[in-house]
Structure 1
């Protein structure tokens, strides 16, 4: 094992890396993954954090942004002993980012690559810790979807599961058809590899893979090209010949192809306790000493990056205005409130005139009015009050062109002091006056040479006529090409997302109560036999028999609803689905399951125009 800790663990920033994200000054690069790049930073109090900046390819997809926002909100509810808590986030910026607590420990992938498989006790403690983490994650309504050795960190007091739920935001975006993969093939479940329904049992399969990998030191389904590994996962049995005998029953059940045959998380923990030769207690000695040494390396963090301190400058006065340093932003000057716009000019009315008092400031204090357009504000603070010291950086975004630090200038007029009058500059005034006269003469000459503009004889619809192709003329939206899907079955209490390609039913984690994620869902009340087709993210329009479902028809219809009973539909009935994400679809009803069918579902043909409208703000 290398003894140089910082050189390999904390990479320096390059020219492509930002210096500041959301007010956090970045100190080093921790790693790069399929979703983005992870940086080391610090809170104002000095606690280290891991800040992940999402890749631009995902940031530009409106469906990703909508799902990422949902997943971040859900992840903030996850507060477990074996998870890295979400500290801060920005889901609406130019590049979304997410900050979690920094875990000073290697990933399971790194530890196994450096030192091989773990002893039995360490594997069992790893398995029960990850199982507890999944219990909390699933309790928040999240399926991890990308549980793998790289997303399990080995801290001194137990494992930590990271990146839970984030993969869901990307797995149904338009990027899935451009070669950008989400998830690691060697640790996918069969239903995930076959684009089937993702459930909490999907994470149980990955947990079995984690346990086998930690004990064997290699993936249970082997290495090789992605398509070969995925084929073995779907069609072949794993190679568990090198797995300790005590772990085989547990791992074999977790790796069942049928999700219904996999054990529950509570049962996984019970099985681990049953096969352990000693009571399982998490402690500082749960890892081999060689791996524990790498935790010490990760505690030798780079120093926090502090913002540059501006050099000391004289306090500005009415007769001695302060000029900005070369290359820096000009100091804030409120305009429209009796103050001159130019930073070096005296206040109108001559020297000695007091600037406006800030209504939000104490009596006698002066500063920028709370309504000034560029005045710094604290997020959520009433009246635009200045940002108090120690506030989290992301709570304040400095206006473009201004630094985050703003010092209120002292009063221009104080008792017992009248500033000296600034000397007049006649030469400068004459030069400016001459330049104005010359400019007016030049404009008059050019206007005389131009032909008269044609009159519109009152036919113009606007306040003034404009040339064809003016930048003010809105460009017409180019309609997207429709994509058709035949015989899509939507099971009771499942939902579809129009952005999915192809749209596949996903189980509603709220058990048919709120359907918080569905663009199109099937609600079934077993007590009253009530069957409805509905949407939670948009509007529905049931078209008349005389109407033909099309993009134009769905755009013009306004007879909106959110639920339609299946008893209102016949074979061939068409429904417009308008999602808040901007997707539009025509769903052609093709009937429902029969009385003898073991499952309850309805069938539709879908024609989808993705990104047909601008997404609505949430």
Structure 2
């Protein structure tokens, strides 16, 4: 989705704009695009962000939702210096949305429209910055597919590439034939325009178009109707007569009709460095003065709204960033909302401070990481304790009575009289810890399932008996078949999102003991690494262990795409654990 800048840096909210989305209070309109509208909002700590709300028509399409969910998950992996990272999202609500870091700068499209072509040094810095962004994006297994001047923002310290891969969510949905336009024909590659084929080289073609656009101030294939532009891209040569002669050979190679003839990203960066008389360094002087002035104007974003005053000393007013509050007794929560757990909420009588309850980021994440879910709402108000002594005394007395009843019901009148408590087959108890022993877990009996077919984009959970592939629940799947063509991975893969996998090599055979002793863990294995009979240890975070035996995949003439596996499962073989 693209937030196309308006003539003004920011626009006020209109009559049809919501006041809050996903707990974020909206401050202004940043732009609109084919897939929705982009708003300015703030994190609880006051950092500005761009919140992109998907159009209701897309949200009603199940195929779009599935693809959008996958693309957002993939976009979280992109953490480059020339990209806008994903901060928060909701793919399941009535109207899906995505929040990214706010970039205080106009788009390349806006800058060129308002101020004309950029000087050569700015074009070189723009090109190397976008090339570095694409290197990170491609490294995460994503093809941008919709790289164009509106998706390149000009910040004070260099360009930022946005909306990588998100346009793919709208491909092949019911809306593509209803007049809803998502892509920009003027910046498509020939193979994308003619056959819908996309590879990393597709983004190289778009990068050449962007460099030419910035250097001459107009699209290399001209303007006009979509059909006319697409025809020229597929059948005619671009107009590069006004491209600076130093830059012309590089741009011409990027715009080769043959994807194999286009340069790689590393070569593009090296060529731009060689073309520059000075060392290329991103900084405050990388743009012309008039373009840089528009960045200064966009830095004056309106701050977060002030919370409404307290109306009651008992119930605190929700913060402006996360206006969720405990439902009234008997109230039905709105669709898509998370249940409020009053017992889990901290007790506090004063209103919540914005950002006060935001959990710290995990240690393995980037300093400003994306987070899944929404910021928590305000704490539940504290209530004065009443007759605490009587309640405690009654609880203790009740516990003593209950304990006496339980002991009386035990075999042979006590806890040591039972003959089948420990050591019996199938029991999880071992030696008595009170007598110096250590409890042990008895190995479960394996259960085998032969000839299980897992279709593309389907998940299997080891706890199910028998395991049945399903399209739901892939975010926490024990085993998932992910094909290459979804623009998320470069090769067909099997994946786990709820544990770890180990490919057994060297003739090793899968067993419970083997899987327990392995320490080589991964979450994805390419199908080209497997042959018929290959075995994979699968250890789920829920404590189940399985040996997956690969039996092959569907043939080219099969109308369905799937893989065949055998599963041997040891359920509850280990204690549940956090993901590796």
1:153-186 Cα shifts (integer Å, max 9, x gaps) = 1111100001111011111212112122221011
- TM-score between both structures, scaled by the size of structure 2: 0.61
CA RMSD across the alignment: 3.9
Give the match for residue 407 of structure 1. Answer: 381
Give the match for residue 492 of structure 1. Answer: none
- TM-score between both structures, scaled by the size of structure 1: 0.58
Give the match for residue 391 of structure 1. Answer: 357
| Cα deviation, residue 35, structure 1 | 1.3
User: Kindly tell me: are residues 99 and 146 of structure 1, through their superposed partners in 2, closer, same or farther at Cα, counting changes over 3 Å?
Assistant: same
SS of 1:98's equivalent in the other structure is strand
Aligned equivalents of 2:114, 2:315: Cα separation in 1: 59
SS of 1:177's equivalent in the other structure is coil
* Pairing of 1:39-438 with structure 2 (within 5 A): 39-313=39-313, 376-377=340-341, 384-386=344-346, 390-392=356-358, 395=373, 406-411=380-385
Give the match for residue 460 of structure 2. Answer: none
Task: Report if aligned partners of 2:90, 2:373 keep a CA contact under 8 Å in 1.
Answer: no
1:566-595 Cα shifts (integer Å, max 9, x gaps) = 4xx9xxx8666699xxxxxxxxxxxxxxxx
Aligned equivalents of 1:231, 1:84: Cα separation in 2: 33
Task: Report if aligned partners of 2:87, 2:99 keep a CA contact under 8 Å in 1.
Answer: yes
Larger Rg: 1
Aligned equivalents of 1:33, 1:511: Cα separation in 2: 28
* Pairing of 1:473-552 with structure 2 (within 5 A): 506=485, 510=489, 512=491, 514=493
User: Kindly tell me: are residues 264 and 26 of structure 1, through their superposed partners in 2, closer, same or farther at Cα, counting changes over 3 Å?
Assistant: same
Aligned equivalents of 1:57, 1:103: Cα separation in 2: 27
Aligned equivalents of 1:185, 1:329: Cα separation in 2: 42
1:250-274 Cα shifts (integer Å, max 9, x gaps) = 0000001111111000011111112
Aligned equivalents of 1:235, 1:329: Cα separation in 2: 55
| Cα deviation, residue 9, structure 1 | 1.8
Q: How many residues align?
A: 395
1:457-488 Cα shifts (integer Å, max 9, x gaps) = xxxxxxxxxxxxxxxxxxxxxxxxxxxxxxxx
SS of 2:84's equivalent in the other structure is coil
1:33-83 Cα shifts (integer Å, max 9, x gaps) = 111110000111111000001111111111111111111111111111101
Aligned equivalents of 2:298, 2:183: Cα separation in 1: 26
Aligned equivalents of 1:60, 1:312: Cα separation in 2: 39
User: Kindly tell me: are residues 576 and 562 of structure 1, through their superposed partners in 2, closer, same or farther at Cα, counting changes over 3 Å?
Assistant: farther
| Cα deviation, residue 285, structure 1 | 0.7
SS of 1:147's equivalent in the other structure is coil
Give the match for residue 438 of structure 1. Answer: none
Task: Report if aligned partners of 2:484, 2:491 keep a CA contact under 8 Å in 1.
Answer: no
Aligned equivalents of 1:531, 1:111: Cα separation in 2: 58
SS of 1:245's equivalent in the other structure is coil
User: Kindly tell me: are residues 516 and 264 of structure 1, through their superposed partners in 2, closer, same or farther at Cα, counting changes over 3 Å?
Assistant: farther
Aligned equivalents of 1:154, 1:162: Cα separation in 2: 11
User: Kindly tell me: are residues 22 and 333 of structure 1, through their superposed partners in 2, closer, same or farther at Cα, counting changes over 3 Å?
Assistant: closer
Task: Report if aligned partners of 2:89, 2:373 keep a CA contact under 8 Å in 1.
Answer: no
Aligned equivalents of 1:112, 1:204: Cα separation in 2: 21
User: Kindly tell me: are residues 374 and 268 of structure 1, through their superposed partners in 2, closer, same or farther at Cα, counting changes over 3 Å?
Assistant: closer
| Cα deviation, residue 310, structure 1 | 2.6
| Cα deviation, residue 408, structure 1 | 2.9
1:555-575 Cα shifts (integer Å, max 9, x gaps) = xxxxxx995464xx9xxx866
SS of 2:8's equivalent in the other structure is helix
Task: Report if aligned partners of 1:197, 1:506 keep a CA contact under 8 Å in 2.
Answer: no
1:487-512 Cα shifts (integer Å, max 9, x gaps) = xxxxxxxxxx9xxxxxx994877554
Give the match for residue 484 of structure 1. Answer: none
1:114-153 Cα shifts (integer Å, max 9, x gaps) = 1100000000000000000000000000000111101101
SS of 1:134's equivalent in the other structure is helix
Aligned equivalents of 2:35, 2:248: Cα separation in 1: 34
Q: Which runs of 5+ in 2 are unaligned?
A: 317-322, 332-336, 360-371, 390-470, 472-482, 497-525, 535-549, 564-580
SS of 2:215's equivalent in the other structure is helix
Task: Report if aligned partners of 2:6, 2:31 keep a CA contact under 8 Å in 1.
Answer: no
Task: Report if aligned partners of 1:531, 1:565 keep a CA contact under 8 Å in 2.
Answer: no
Aligned equivalents of 1:206, 1:79: Cα separation in 2: 21
Task: Report if aligned partners of 2:40, 2:48 keep a CA contact under 8 Å in 1.
Answer: yes
User: Kindly tell me: are residues 276 and 397 of structure 1, through their superposed partners in 2, closer, same or farther at Cα, counting changes over 3 Å?
Assistant: closer
User: Kindly tell me: are residues 6 and 300 of structure 1, through their superposed partners in 2, closer, same or farther at Cα, counting changes over 3 Å?
Assistant: farther
